[in-house]
Amino acid sequence: MPARALAVPRDIPGPVVRHAALGRRYAAPGPAYPCYPPPTSLVPQIGPADYREALERSNQAARPLSLYVHVPFCRQACFHCTRRPVTTTHHRHVEPYLSRLDREMVLTARHLDKGRQVEHLHWGGGTPTFLSLDQMGDLIDRLDARFGLSSARDRDYVIEIDPREADVFTLRHLEALGFNRLRLGVLDLDPRVQRAINRVQPAGLTEQLVDEADRLGFRALDMDLVVGLPCQTRAGFADTLEQVLALAPSRLTLAHYAHAPERFALQRQVRKADLLEPLERLAILEVALARLEAAGYVRIGLDRFVRPGLAAASSPLPARDRIGLGVSAMSRLAGLYTRNPVRLTDYEAALDQGRLPTTSGRWLSPDDRLRAAAIEGLTRDLRLDLDTLGASFGVDARAHLADALVRLRDAEQEGLVAYREQRLGVTRPGQLALRHLAAAFDAYRS
Ligand code: SF4
């Protein structure tokens, strides 16, 4: 069935969403899949004993480690936020958290063989650079003492940066501490959008940090943008993209704003009148994808793109055991997926009682692994070879994923996916609904 042309307001410049099917069925942003199974599938029956077992079991394969450290503090709350930040203006509020992080490191590291390489370190938040320079140094020292950090040139040590909470001194300090990749939260440079989400950050802040990062020789500089924010327009976002592309980020993440005030209290402060029509969000996404393609950026995953020439170095990701530290942090190793409490008081209480704070999780089944590989392959390559996938898991993937292929029938009719023999491919319009196409493989979605 051919897709019908869709009427789009004439006063908004830029390409249009040409497929009525997209507007009708795929207007909502869809799930982000930071991982599969999704966090919503984790069950409370999994606790510290499972996590200890997985930590010890992981020593047999002795894969390199990836450490994620969550720093939940922010000076000021952005209205679009889904991360449940702890807002404070006092650095002294951080100290008790750092002590508990250290306790968690001790409880975790005692189950790991010494000498396992920490190839990857990621500080996320919240705002990791809300920490004072001394607190950052202290945290790095503790991580090094507990796990042994790497000084190898090919280590990947990344920190998320809110440009309002960092300056040239911060970057020099981070470089001295061993970070070699920065991830800047740019979101949208349109002042109207910034006011609507209570996050005013002039473009000059970002440019200054990029200049300094270049001078200091950081290996990579990534930027995060968000599509669908309140007050966003095609013209405004195209302008943001031009300014961002001029800074030549190594990687770009194009996240999607999902308005869910019933789940995220901060979003209740977003003015209803500032919200976008669902179709407009798709139109902005279409503008963005076209511009990234024209600039030569290559997709390396759901919402993630890499600068021309860097794609080969970015994918696939090396196999590492991931250890999450801090409130709401997630871990994945030895076939187990776990999460720490989302509420700070629960996280603190567990550590004050001397136990690991694992609060939920899931042991991965062969089916989980197959579906995770399908989602990762489809969102990275925009195609999925069912023969190859099945062979690598020793199953008939077409039969095993029959439910997903049935769910994709409508998308096939709408021209969003197409088959060539055993290979499933995402079409150009299908890229606008990629999250929904990935969701077809999710066995936990109702
Ligand atoms: S979007 Fe980032 S900086 Fe803003 S409140 Fe959320 S975590 Fe903090």
Say yes or no: CB of residue 244 within 6 Å of ligand 1. no
- pLDDT, residue 420, reads 87
74 lines ligand 1 (CB under 6 A): yes
Nearest of 443, 381, 439, 441 to residue 28 by alpha carbon: 439
- Residue 350 belongs to a domain: no
In a domain, 341, yes or no: no
387 with 309, same domain? no
Domain-located, residue 327: no
Average pLDDT, integer, range 347-375: 97
| Mean pLDDT value across residues 423-444 | 94
| Together in a domain, 369 and 306 | no
77 touches ligand 1 (CB under 6 Å) = yes
Q: Is residue 141 part of a domain?
A: yes
Q: What is the pLDDT of residue 167?
A: 95
**pLDDT digit string, tens, across residues 198-221:** 999 999 999 999 999 999 999 999
Pair (159, 274) in one structural domain: yes
CA distance 218 to 361: 35
**Whether residue 85 has its Cβ less than 6 Å from ligand 1:** yes
- CATH number of the domain where residue 376 is located: 1.10.10.920
Ligand 1 centroid distance, CA of 208 (Å): 21
Q: Are 247 and 218 in contact (CB under 8 A)?
A: no
Q: Does ligand 1 come within 6 angstroms of the Cβ of 125? A: yes
pLDDT above 90 (res 355)? yes
pLDDT at 315 over 90: no
Q: For the chain, give the percent of residues with pLDDT over 70.
A: 93
Secondary-structure breakdown of the chain: helix, strand, coil percentages, each rounded to the nearest 5: 45, 20, 40
Q: What is the mean pLDDT of the segment spanning 439-445?
A: 95
State whether 276 and 200 are in the same domain. Answer: yes
Whether pTM > 0.95 for this model: the answer is: no
Whether 80 is covered by a domain: the verdict is yes
In a domain, 276, yes or no: yes
Same domain (yes/no): 376, 270: no
User: What does DSSP say about strands 383-385 and 423-426: parallel, antiparallel, or unpaired?
Assistant: antiparallel
pLDDT of residue 312: 63
Residue 352, CA distances (Å) to 106, 356, 366 in order: 13, 10, 36
pLDDT mean over 64-72: 97
Is 24 within a domain? no
Alpha-carbon gap, residue 434 to 291, rounded angstroms: 17
Q: Are residues 141 and 240 in the same domain?
A: yes
Out of 79, 82, 83, 267, give the residue to mutate to test ligand 1, the one with the largest number of ligand atoms within 8 Å of its CB: 83
> Nearest C-alpha to atom 4 of ligand 1 is from which residue?
78
**In a shared domain, residues 288 and 427:** no
As a whole number, mean pLDDT of residues 166-176 equals: 97
Residue 26's pLDDT is 81
The answer to whether residue 32 sits within a structural domain is no
- Per-residue pLDDT for 8 more than 80? no
pLDDT, one tens digit per residue, over 405-433 is 999 998 998 889 999 877 999 998 899 99
Find all residues with CB under 8 Å of 24, minimum gap 6, and list them: none
pLDDT band at 260 (very low <50, low <70, confident <90, very high): very high
Mutational test site, ligand 1, from 71, 76, 78, 194, max ligand atoms within 8 Å of CB: 78
Handedness of CA 188, 192, 196, 199 (dihedral sign): positive
Pair 382, 293 in one domain: no
7 Cα: distance to centroid of ligand 1 (angstroms): 36
Residue of 73, 74, 269 best suited for mutating to test ligand 1, as the one with most atoms within 8 Å of CB = 74
For residue 6, name the pLDDT band (cuts at 50, 70, 90): very low
Q: Stretch 49-68: mean pLDDT, rounded? A: 96
| pLDDT on residue 389 | 96
Higher pLDDT among residues 356 and 279, named by residue: 356
DSSP string across 137-191? HHHHHHHHHHH-B---TT-EEEEEE-GGG--HHHHHHHHHHT--EEEEEEE---H
Domains in the chain, number: 2
pLDDT of residue 5: 34
Q: Is the CB of 127 under 6 A from ligand 1?
A: yes
Its domain, for residue 148, covers: 39-314
Q: In which band, very low, low, confident or very high, does the pLDDT at 24 lie, cut at 50, 70 and 90?
A: low
Asked if residue 182 and residue 50 are part of one domain, the reply reads yes
Q: Which atom of ligand 1 is nearest to the CA of 185?
A: 2
Domain boundary among 284, 314, 344: 314
Is 234 in the same domain as 369? no
Whether 75 is in the pocket of ligand 1, judged by its Cβ within 6 Å, is no
When computed from its CA atoms, the radius of gyration of the chain, rounded to whole angstroms, is 22
Please tell me the predicted confidence (pLDDT) of residue 9: 38
pLDDT at 1 over 60: no
For all residues of the chain together, what is the average pLDDT? 92
